[in-house]
Structures are given as C-alpha cells and as structure tokens.
Amino acid sequence: MAADLKTDVLVIGGGPAGSMTAKWAAQAGASVLMIEKRQEIGSPVRCGEGMSKDWLHDVGIKPGRWVNLEVEGARIYSPSEKVFEINEKHAGNEVGYVVERVEFDKQLAIDAANAGVEVRLKTAATGILKENGKVVGAKVKQFGTTFDVRAKVTIGADGFESQVGRWAGISTNIAIRDMDTCLQYRMTNVDSDSRYCDFYLGKVAPGGYVWVFPKGDGLANVGIGVQVSQVQSMAEARNYLDAWIAAHPGYAKGKKIDMVGGGVSISAPLKQTVTDGFMLVGDAARMIDPLTGGGIANGCIAGKICGTVAAEAAQTGDTSKAFLDKYEKGWRARLEEKLYRNWLAKEKLTTLSDATFDKIIDALAGVRLEKLNVHNILKAVHEKYPEVTKEFEAFL
C-alpha cells in the first residue's frame, strides 16, 4: 500500500489536451500531477497526423522535430474523382502540418514537465474520489499498487474512450451517427504528393472520408473514417479501406508498415463539461471537429483555458462548479459556434449521394473562391447546379 498523494491539480491522461492543461496550470503556480496509463507518452498513435497550424502560437507550442512536413493545401476528391483544391490563401491555415504524433505528444509532455508538472507513467485512474457529491481526486494504480490522489481539481483528459467523465457524472454518451470508426495504414512506396493532404468523399467511406496524409519519400498515412450508423457488417472500416487501396494503383503497390485504429466523435458539443471539483477536456469532452475529425487543436486550445482556470480555482480555494464554469464559458466562447456549425454541416453531408458530391466538387473546381466559407461555396454551387443548393437552404 503506497502512501496517498496530495496535489492542487490532477490531470488524468497524458495526450495533447492533458499535457496542455497540466502545463498551463503549473505555469499559473499550481502543483500538478499528470498521470498516463501507458508506459510511453504518445504511443500508440491513434491519429491521421494532419493538423492545422494557425493556433499553435496562441497556446505556446513551438514547431519542433515533430513536424514531418508542411503541406501547401488540401485536395478534395469527389466520387468520380473531380478535384477541388484548397490552399492556404483561402482556407485560412486550415491545412498545415503532417506530424509525428509520438514526437508531438512527447514535446507537449516535456513542456509540461519543464513547467513543473510531475508526470507518472504506467499510472491509471481506476475510480474517482467523491465527497458530498464533489470530486476530490481519483483512485489510481501504478505498477500494480493502488493509492488515492487527493486533488483540489481533477481533470479528465482520457481521450475518446473516457471513463473518468462518466465516473464524475458527466454524460459523454454519443449517438452512433455521431461517431466514426477509423482505420489507417502507414504505407511506403505510394504515389502521394507531399504538397497536399488528400480527402476522398462519397460511398468509398459512407458518412466519412478516406484520407492520404503524405509524410515524404513515398511514405503516407492512408486511412478511413466510416460513420458507425452507416456500418452494415463487421470490419467495415477495414474492408472499405482495403477496397479503396485496391482500386488505386498508386497505393495498391504500396506496402503497409503500421496499422492504427480508433473511434472519433463527430458530435455536437456536450451540454456540460464541468462539475464540482472536476473538468473534462479534449476528445474526452467530445471537442473533436465533427466535419474534419480533427481533435488536437481544439483539445490544446481548451487545455490552455482548463489549466489556467484549474490553477485559479486551486489558489482561491473555490473549486465549485460555479467557479469552474469559467472554463466551460471560456472554451465555448472560443470553440462552440464552429463545432455546432460543423456538426450541422456534417449532418447534411453524411446524407448526400455520390452524384451530389460530384456536382458540388465539379462546381467548386471550376471557380476561384476568394475565401472559403459556407456562403461562398453554396454561391458557387448554386450558379452551376441550382438544384443541389435546395438541399442546403438551412445554411443560407
């Protein structure tokens, strides 16, 4: 029986959202313990490894050796493989880096450790400690030994399969139309173009897309997300991905050297992410962008707010839900509108036929959009295929 621990802030999970939360809490003067159930921060990877870059400076992340390469843009392929190219000029840095997540996650954990965070590996939360309905820490297990960590503020950053949030009494359940089942191969000897991240829409990936994120020298992450509500049979993500690869000679000739999978939430924002003594952040809080499936930026942006509020709460001694609502309001002000808008767009896009996708991409491929936004896209489509935009009246 190990001795129990005390800390101002306990962060459960050492992914990007956890490390950012921990770092910002420590920088604001709190004592912080971050626990990670695995033996290595960043591994195994569960990610396509593409991310935008305009947000990094705001949250204090400096580009480092985790940057694999910088792309010029993204190419969206319709089912008949008409192409719409999005570049930085009109996408506002929505595209950016292809990264090594193992290195990225480690860099963020190093930044947290350098800010004073204590990091413990092989340490899993096995339950939450509650007193009078308030979360006061967690029961943890390290190297087979169980002990209590008492914390003024406890933070769940335990990813898509989050248990901690549910233990704390926050509903993180999502509908099957709000989740993608994903699989990805890292492939070598493929014909990816290092200038672009590629996305393939339509029935090749029902309710989701196939992605190709280049890593240079003929290496690329080739993956798929399929909306769970559209899955008909077992192993469908793998079957669709294998079929896509087989149909594309530039990829069929490649060799697989790695395989990762995972669930991605594509839901509207949760109603609640804080309770007395407790906050939820990142994928665990369903902060993933429902349109792109990207979770890193939002997790880090919310993590900075979460860590700052956690330190303030620990220092003032007020760790009530009412105080922690500052985090709830903070992340919503920054992210909620876009999350909700993209969720609505996702709800619509997941119902479109291949023929409609073809028309939309065909219309967009033929024009030069000054700025990429829903209004401009719909206007361009309306000019060529007015019947298509009828389906999108809600967005106009």
Partner 1 sequence: MANKKSLHIESSGQLCIYCGACVGICPLNCIYLDETRITFDEKVCTRCEICVKACPVGAIEID
181 contacts partner 1 (rule: CB under 8 A): yes
Residues, the chain: 396
287 contacts partner 1 (rule: CB under 8 A): no
Find the shortest distance in angstroms from Cβ 162 to partner 1: 7
**In sequence order, what are the beta bridge partners of 389?**
none
Site string for partner 1, 72-91 (x = CB under 8 A): --------------------
160 contacts partner 1 (rule: CB under 8 A): yes
Cα gap 381→229, rounded to integer Å: 28
Q: Which of 174, 345, 365, 374 binds partner 1 (CB under 8 A)?
A: 174
- Report the side by side order of strands in the sheet with 73-77: 83-87, 73-77, 196-200, 209-216, 219-227, 179-188, 255-265
- What's the start-to-end Cα distance of the chain, in Å? 62
Cα gap 386→146, rounded to integer Å: 64
Choices 54-62, 104-112, 261-269, 313-321; region in contact with partner 1 by CB under 8 A: 261-269
Choices 76-84, 161-169, 304-312, 356-364; region in contact with partner 1 by CB under 8 A: 161-169
183 contacts partner 1 (rule: CB under 8 A): yes
Site for partner 1 in 113-142 (CB under 8 A): 124
Q: Which of 15, 48, 96, 159 binds partner 1 (CB under 8 A)?
A: 159
**In sequence order, what are the beta bridge partners of 98?**
50, 69
143 contacts partner 1 (rule: CB under 8 A): no
Q: Which of 207, 262, 299, 303 binds partner 1 (CB under 8 A)?
A: 262
Find the shortest distance in angstroms from Cβ 246 to partner 1: 17
157 contacts partner 1 (rule: CB under 8 A): no
* Residue 105 and residue 15 in contact, taking contact as beta carbons nearer than 8 Å: yes
Which of 236, 223, 127, 238 lies closest to 176, judged by CA? 236
Using CB under 8 A as the criterion, which residues of the chain lie in contact with partner 1 when the complex forms? 37-38, 44, 46, 124, 159-163, 166, 173-174, 176, 179, 181-183, 228, 231, 234-238, 259-263, 265
